[in-house]
Structure 1
């Protein structure tokens, strides 16, 4: 499948963000979090905000995540209308959740949503995510819950979704899956890595016997712990290594 390069047709900043988002899609595929073609990662383009607009990059509907390239990403507006020529369709229904969050969370430039087995399993538990692992300690005080209302096709659900998320970075969509936000694609990906791992650990532990809960005195101070654990670099401590890993495997995402 040949996709003409957009590198010379978009700004340098947009091309950089296209490469980062394409890398994020490839990493989601690499870690086994994709659900064929049925989930999304959206990224707001900062230069559109300065013009009083809101433009986003999102995956072309029908491509597997390991096929996505910088040039195949589709630019859309808040209504998921294509803003530049593209041979690929987009999925307006799939953008409903993302656009709802982007509309009220201007810090959430990237929104990632998954349907992994572990994530959906935890979303179906009445207890939700439990503080039973080190990974979970980074999430439990920063996670919101939204009850399942069927496929996200109705506009009247949007205010409830927005209110439930509020200012949190992690969201459990009950009976549905996981969602993370981030200032960058890297932030949203690393948040999802921690979130997904915490869910996998919980499902494994619950199958074995009684659980040991981590005291709230520990989970209440995780922002400072995170800063110390990453030497103040946040996602910058891991993201460059992930990009190098991708480049060693397949650099076609950069085309």
Structure 2
């Protein structure tokens, strides 16, 4: 990194500095620098670019080989996933990680403990979930906002994919986080399902001054939601700016968009 790299600003919720990750000698991330303010930031790029790895480092599931991750002024390096969640980071996964055998509202309530995620002992955690009335009411309120409160007492894992994804978004939001990481939330969903998820999410983000980072291959969606896009390619950020600025850059077209660019352009 050169001395010209800008320092973190007070407006930055999440700051990545020279973030590096290697798996078995394979450099997945190479010196990633990124500032994330409140509002929506899109993280896009081809498959294998390292986007989900960024989320896994921020949320504590993957250890960085170098660099730093800061939420506000506090480093998250070396902090356990549940502690990171309690510090104000919520996330979803490409495939919803809901607990089988318990209801939708109970799955959402798990987010209050900061322990909902791809952990081997997640099913056991469900036995110690919070059952307080305020927690349940908060969960029901979120389900109402997303238009799925009628499913509150249904088994979450038996619901259609679109509903499961909305449940996971609600779980990521229940603990009033500062930062929410959404990993391909619209993948596999129809237009109506996407809108059912996005419209309440936009309102909740604005009401609570959230920073939301969204990984999504639907460039039309991220361009509509996100005033800022970061393009990740071969483990590094190759472009950062407004959607119009980023999607017009030749290196982005060459690395990611290719012939499909015309289909998403204005």
Same fold (TM over 0.5): no
User: Could you say which structure has the higher helix fraction?
Assistant: 1
**TM-score normalized with structure 1 length:** 0.29
**TM-score normalized with structure 2 length:** 0.28
User: Could you say which structure has the higher strand fraction?
Assistant: 2
